[in-house]
Each structure stands twice: as structure tokens, then as C-alpha cells.
Structure 1
Amino acid sequence: MKSTSFNTVKITEYIVDWLLNYAKNANVKGFVVGISGGIDSAVVSTLCAKTNLPTLCVEMPIHQPVSHVNRGKEHIDFLKKNFKNVTSVIADLTPTFDTLTNSLPIGEQHEVLTLTLANTRARLRMTTLYYFAGINHALVVGTGNKIEDFGVGFFTKYGDGGVDISPIADLMKSEVCNLATFLDIPTSIISAKPADGLFDDDRSDEDQLGASYDELEIAMINHENGKKSTDFQGREKEVFEIYSRLNRINQHKINPIPVCLIPKTLKS
């Protein structure tokens, strides 16, 4: 799905200025971005690099598919070639992940265990990013887009959802793709099937969600416009129901942590 009224130049400038001003107001030196080999982290890291502030790209393989690793390296090479303020580091978390999982009991339900271990990978990466942010006096920059963060909640709480700032969380996936083309992100990354890289296999986001981002984007717009499942038929109805279900069950991730507010009358 392509946006027809998307000003890539002005939006790029706006985000870069936003990043720069936020960093200055927070009195930090720069940014830390986890590089996955996917389009979202590629766009975010490029936007950070364009601020001219130190930008550290962190690769964190955990039994990673070779294709993801290669795309990540290709993107980092692209950034270093074009921006002098970009550095990179590899933190191989495979031994750490194996040590942790070998010390924990194995659940009986394979599907639940697989998802739990996937979320564990994301949380190890979050911890690693904050380590590098701490020693570099930098901000951890989120790479989630609007569909993931506010539509279907397709992220790990306290994993890739654990960040300091989110520069593209108000952009649909198609809009992120528009920025990627404008920013000259390598074609191999733009054309790759979106995947979170949290499993031992090469499953895509679409495999997990049951719908493509283009389909979910339409469903999100329809949902925000007050449409109901009964308004659609066929595949459109199926995707709308997928979106509605994920949006409903993931409100605990999409919204702030619920706080039990005690009535003042009970405190006095």
C-alpha cells in the first residue's frame, strides 16, 4: 500500500530535527540502535545518523538466520560509508541465551515455550542495548512502526518495546518503505520479507500475524473509522477480524501499564 500524499523530504527533516532536539534536551551524546537486517531498523538508524550525533549500531545475533545477518552487515557498511558519526559493535548473545535457557525448566506446551523463548531473546537484546546506551551516555532508539506499536501490538513487552524514544511509531509500514527508498536503503533490505528474527527458523511477520502489513494497514484505518466485521466480506473480512482480535488482546502492550488509583477518601 503506497501513500499518495507523503512528503518524504519534509518528514525526514522533521524526524531528524526531532531526534536532535530530544537528544540535546536530554543532555545525551547520541543514539544506540539494534540492527536486525530489516527495513525499520535500517530507516531508524539512518535517521539517527543524519543528526550527525554519534550513532552506535548494535548487532545481536541469537541463532540468527544467515540472511538476516548479511543484510544487517550490508546496512551497517552502507551507513559507515556515508556517515562518519556511525560506529558498530557485535554482541553475540547466542552463548548467553543458551546458558539461560539451559538453566530454566522446559515447559510442556511446545508452542507456548517457543513463543516464550522468542520473547526472551528480545529481552536479552533490550538489556544489551541499554548496556551500550549506559556506557556511551546515549538513548536507545525504538524501531517499531505504527501498525506494530499501536495497531496489533506486534512487539515484546520489555523487549523491543523497551526503548527511550520511538521516531517512526507514527508511521505506517508503507510510509516507512517510502522513507527507505528516499534514504537509499539497500534494495535487499527494502525487498526482504519483514521478520522479527526471534525464532530459529526464517518465519516472516506475515507468517506469525496471518496477514501482510499492507492488509493490516487497511484494516487499521477501517477500524479507526469505526467499521465493523459485518461491513466486509472474503479476505478483507478475515484480515479485519485478525486485526481486531490482535488489537483487543494486546491492549496491555499498546496502552500504558494500568495503575490502581486509590480514592483520596481512602487515603485521608
Structure 2
Amino acid sequence: MTNNIKMNTEAVTNHIVTWLKDYALNAKVSGYVIGISGGIDSAVTSTLCAMTELPLLCVEMPIHQDPSQVSRAKEHITFLKNNFSNVTSTVADLTSTFETLKDSLPSSNDEALLNLTLANTRARLRMTTLYYYAGLHRSLVAGTGNKVEDFGVGFFTKYGDGGVDISPIADLMKSEVRAIGEYLGVPSSIIIAKPTDGLFGDERSDEDQLGANYDELEIAMTAHMNGAKADDFTGREREVFDIYSRLNRINQHKINPIPVCIIPTELK
């Protein structure tokens, strides 16, 4: 499998910025609120939002956060403020809030399940916080999920980082997001950092959790969308294709809209 994705980076960037600005103006909101994690996705999305010239509030929301993630987040916010006068920032330290909630809920003897549940709880606390700020500022919450995460492997928390008003980069593969980041001048420390969801309070990467990196997964995603089957591959390519296929299958409940039970007319 090879990745032959090509993109007119400047044109795509301008398209997203115009789309973001038009959407906000048509919705008659002031601007955007976004969570800054120190990763490439939030860095690119926040920069695109800043380029609209509409007010952008960047929110840091540490919960027992790894210091490297905190420092990258601060570095990016400094980058934004040095380049855009419409950017402001705030810090909502949710560590004590998270601990209070955790102490009020039952624990579990299944440590792995408990840790995953708590990780998703962190994401949902952050979503609630972003919407609080969005309400105060009459703004929209900008999502930071890319195409592999949102529509490939479903690597996001439902009603956590998946709870947003608008998804500017959800039609871009990770490599395309990275290319736009380089074009926009996002700090190199963020571009080269291993992607992480930052939900476990340690240095584990997305690759550690998924079993494959984004370059591998987006190639598998492209092959899957083109109708490829597992038997078309061998070795590591087969392993990654199987990983992608399994995650895509089990996470359809996140990838697809919420099922609605339609009542037949004759029953009403």
C-alpha cells in the first residue's frame, strides 16, 4: 500500500477559512471557542479559526496533564497571539473537578475498563467546559477531529471531543493536516510530536492505543474506501488493514448519526 494523496494546500486553507467565517456570520455568532491540547489537529484548527479574523478563545483544560503537552499548548497559543490580534486565551484547570467527580462515583475492579471510562470522562468534562465558554461568548465550539479519527477508526469520545458545533478538518487525512500545519507555520515542536489524546495523564500516544500510526491508518482507510479486502495484503500491511477494519466496524455507533426509531405512519 502506498499513499498518493495530493492537495493544493493554499487553496484548501483558504477554502476552510472562508467556510468558517461564512458559517459563523450566517449563524450570527461572535466567533469560535476551541480547546488547545498541544497537538497538531487543535493547532491547525485554531489557526484556521484565527484567520477568519473573528474572535477566537483558546482554552487550555489540563487534567493531570503531561508537562510536554502543557508546554506545547502554551507555545502554540503564544504563536497565535503573536500573529492574530483576535485571539484570546484562558486556562480552566479541571484536575480538582475531575477528582471530585471521580470520588463521588463507584470504582471498578477492572482497572483497564476503569481507566478507559475515566479517560472518556475527562473528555466529557472538557466538552462541558468549552460549551460553558461558548455560551458566555456567544460563540461556536470548533472541533479538531481529522478524517481518520472521525470517519475511519472512530478515535474520539462520544459527547467528549466528538461533541462540537463544527468540524473544519474532518475531511482531511492526518498527513493533510500536517501539511497545512507546515504551510501555516505551526511550531515545529507540535508538528513532530507524537499524536496523543492526552486523556491518561501520561505520555502514551495514539499509536500506542490504536496499534498503528496515522500514516499507516490513512493508507488502510483509502484502501478500504476503494473496496480492498484483507486478503489483498500480507505482513504489516495486512496487520494494519485488520486493525483499521476492526476499529471501523466496532465504532460505527460513533461514526454514524444517532439511530432514530421511525414509527410507521399507520401506528400513529
User: Shorter-normalised TM-score: what interval?
Assistant: over 0.9
The amino acid of 2:228's aligned partner reads: K
Which residue number in structure 2 is paired with residue 140 of structure 1? 141
Query: Distance in 2 between the 1:89 and 1:215 partners?
Result: 36
Kindly state the Cα deviation for residue 53 of structure 1 after the two structures are TM-superposed.
0.3
TM (normalized to structure 2)?
Answer: 0.98
Equivalent position of 1:225 in the other structure: 226
In structure 2, the partner of 1:240 is 241
1:41 aligns with 2:32: no
Percent of paired sites with the same residue: 71
> Structure 1: how far apart are the matches of 2:242 and 2:56?
40
* Distance in structure 2 (CA, Å) of the matches to 1:154 and 1:67: 22
**2:8 match:** 7
Q: Superposition pairs for residues 55-94 of structure 1, below 5 Å?
A: 55-94=56-95
Number of corresponding residues: 267
Q: CA deviation at 1:86?
A: 0.2
Gaps of at least 5 residues in structure 1 are none
Any conservation in 1 of the 2:143–2:165 contact (CA below 8 Å)? Answer: yes
Q: Which amino acid aligns with 2:250?
A: I
Contact preservation (8 Å) 1:43, 1:176: yes
3-state secondary structure, aligned to 2:88: strand
CA distance in 1, matches of 2:58, 2:8: 27
Query: 1:157 maps to which residue?
Result: 158
Aligned to 1:97: 98
The answer to whether the 8 Å contact 2:3/2:219 transfers is: no
1:163 and 1:225 map into 2 onto residues whose CA distance is: 29
Secondary structure of 1:114 counterpart = helix
- Structure 2 counterpart of 1:172, one-letter code: M
Q: C-alpha displacement at 1:266, in angstroms?
A: 1.0
SS of aligned partner of 1:180? helix
- Report what 1:182 is aligned to: 183
Q: CA deviation at 1:152?
A: 0.2
Where structure 2 has 5 or more consecutive residues not aligned to the other structure, the ranges are none
Q: Give the drift of 1:201.
A: 1.5
CA contact (8 A) 2:37 2:198 kept: yes
SS in 1 for 2:34: strand
Secondary structure of residue in 2 paired with 1:123: helix
